[in-house]
C-alpha cells in the first residue's frame, strides 16, 4: 500500500489511518483493497495483518 512492495504492519497502519480520517489517501491506494469489495477499510487492514503472519 505504501508502494514499497512489501506487505507488513506499516501498510495495515496506513489503512487504519485512512479509515480514521487521519489521512486522505494512500501512496498506492489501488493496492489497498485486498478483499476486492471496492473500499479500503479495516477489513483490508486485517487481511494485511493475516498476510504478514503468513496465514
Ligand atoms: Ca508496504
Ligand atoms: Ca476492501
pLDDT at 26: 86
Range 18-49 burial, b when 16+ CB lie within 10 A, else e = bbeeeeeebeeeebbbbeeeeebbeebbebbe
Mind listing the pLDDT tens digit for each residue in 1-55?
A: 789 988 899 999 999 999 999 998 888 888 889 999 999 999 999 999 998 898 7
Structural domain boundaries of the chain? 9-53
Nearest ligand (C-alpha, residue 26): 1
* CA–centroid distance, residue 41 to ligand 2 (Å): 6
Ligand (nearest to CA of 3): 1
pLDDT of residue 27: 87
pLDDT number for residue 34: 92
Cβ atoms of 1 and 27 within 8 Å: the answer is yes
For residue 38, the CA-to-ligand 1 centroid distance in Å is: 20
Amino acid at each position: 500500500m505504501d508502494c514499497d512492495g512489501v506487505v507488513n504492519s506499516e501498510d495495515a497502519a496506513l489503512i487504519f489511518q485512512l479509515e480514521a480520517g487521519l489521512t486522505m489517501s494512500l501512496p498506492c491506494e489501488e493496492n489497498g483493497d485486498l478483499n476486492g469489495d471496492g473500499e479500503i477499510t479495516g477489513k483490508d487492514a486485517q487481511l494485511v495483518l493475516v498476510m504478514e503472519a503468513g496465514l
